Structure formats: C-alpha cells, structure tokens
C-alpha cells in the first residue's frame, strides 16, 4: 500500500471510530484528566526504610508507600464500595451504568464487561482492556476506606479470596490484571513506580511482620 493510500485508510478508520464514539455518549472521555496531570509519581525503594529499627513501624511505613499504588485511581476504580465501577483519575461513576452481577462480570442478560473491555487496551476508543477484566468482589471494596482499613482487610483470608500472605504478595507482585495499572493505555495515568518496585515494597512489608498503618 502506498503512503497516501495508507494515510487515507487510517483517517477513514479513525473517522469511523470517532463516529461510533460520538453516537454513544457513554464512550466519550470528556472527564478524562487534563494532559498535564497525567504524570505518575515514583515509589521510594525498600532500602530507604531500612533505618526504621522498630519492625512494626517499618512495616507500616512500607505499607504506606505501597498505598500510593493501592489508593491510585487505577486500582480504586475497580475496587468500589457499591455495585458500579468508577472511571478516570476523578473516579466518577462508570458511564454507561454497569453493575457487578454475580461474578463481577455484569448481570445475566445485562451489559457484560467484555462487551466493551477486550483482551487489550483499545486506545482508538479509550477503552481499557485485559483478559481478566472484571469488578473486584464487594468484600474487597477499598473506596471510602482508610489505608489502615484496606491493609487489615487484604490480610484477612475471609475477605481476600482465601489467600495466604505469600499468595497475597505474589498476587500484587505478579498478577497481570494488577499489572494493567502500569500499562493502562493512552490518556490514563499509570500507577506510581513500577509493579516490580510495588512488589518489593509489599514483600518487605510482609517480611517485617505486616503491621498496618494506624487509622
């Protein structure tokens, strides 16, 4: 295909997507964060916490650093306190209205998450994607809770999907849906730092006895 033809095809394809989006107001990204705010902060390395001699204080400080990720919109949007996810950096209610359904994938006969969310991010329409896309169960709700409450809750096997501490650390360090937070697609602020740094903080927190921040 020559360059001009390729360019025309690209414009046409882009146009069709634009038309599809403009016909469905639910798919517009009007409340997306402005360009300037899309710079993610970093995470302090584990070594910076070594000088805190008291184990519980060190664990709590490590968890607070990891909390910059846990409480970022990329994670919180999918761990809501109700039945509806939130979206964008402003964590506004998901448009259109979708609800969790029994398995977190939308109700039977209703709008399934996978109608729009596919295996990968679809940047042309601003739809995030991942093979495991679904809403976190209600017992894993984080919105409206303090970091200390989130910490206590994710350690509790009755609330965290029956995970041991080792499995919990592994989930945060390795899970590919968690990993989406650092690869969220165009126009979305990634979670702070990298998943590797986050995993190291969580591992060090567990090794220091997994105390939670106060409050």
Residues that bind ligand HEC (CB under 6 A): 26-27, 29, 32, 69-70, 73-75, 77-79, 85, 87-88, 94, 96, 98, 100, 104, 106, 111, 113, 115-117, 126-128, 133-137, 140, 153-154, 159-161, 171-172, 177-178, 180-181, 188, 191
Question: Which residue, 6 or 144, is less far from ligand HEC as judged by CB?
Answer: 144
**Do the beta carbons of residue 112 and residue 92 sit within 8 Å?**
no
CA dist 163 and 170 (Å) reads 10
Task: Please state the closest distance from residue 24 (CB atom) to ligand HEC, in A.
Answer: 7
Question: Which residue, 8 or 103, is less far from ligand HEC as judged by CB?
Answer: 103
- The residues with which 127 forms a beta bridge, in sequence order, are 122
Question: Which residue, 128 or 213, is less far from ligand HEC as judged by CB?
Answer: 128
Task: Please state the closest distance from residue 146 (CB atom) to ligand HEC, in A.
Answer: 15
Backbone phi, then psi, for 99, in 5-degree steps? -130, 165
Question: Which residue, 140 or 165, is less far from ligand HEC as judged by CB?
Answer: 140
Task: Please state the closest distance from residue 211 (CB atom) to ligand HEC, in A.
Answer: 17
Task: Please state the closest distance from residue 57 (CB atom) to ligand HEC, in A.
Answer: 23
């Amino acid at each position: 295909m020559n360059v001009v033809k390729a360019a025309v095809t690209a414009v046409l394809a882009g146009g069709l997507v634009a038309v599809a989006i403009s016909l469905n107001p639910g798919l517009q990204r009007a409340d997306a964060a402005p360009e300037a705010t899309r710079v993610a902060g970093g995470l302090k390395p584990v070594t910076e916490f070594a000088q805190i001699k008291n184990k519980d204080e060190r664990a709590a400080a490590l968890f607070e650093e990891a909390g910059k990720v846990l409480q970022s919109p990329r994670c919180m949007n999918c761990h809501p306190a109700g039945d509806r996810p939130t979206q964008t950096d402003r964590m506004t209610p998901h448009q259109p209205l979708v609800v969790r359904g029994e398995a977190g994938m939308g109700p039977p006969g209703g709008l399934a998450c996978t109608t729009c969310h596919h295996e990968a991010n679809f940047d042309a329409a601003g739809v995030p994607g991942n093979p495991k896309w679904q809403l976190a169960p209600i017992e894993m709700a984080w919105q409206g809770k303090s970091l200390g409450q989130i910490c206590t809750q994710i350690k509790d096997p009755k609330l965290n999907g029956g995970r041991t501490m080792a499995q919990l650390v592994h989930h945060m360090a390795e899970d590919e849906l968690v990993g989406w937070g650092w690869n969220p697609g165009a126009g979305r602020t990634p979670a702070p730092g990298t998943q590797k740094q986050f995993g190291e903080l969580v591992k060090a927190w567990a090794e220091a006895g997994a105390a939670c921040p106060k409050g």
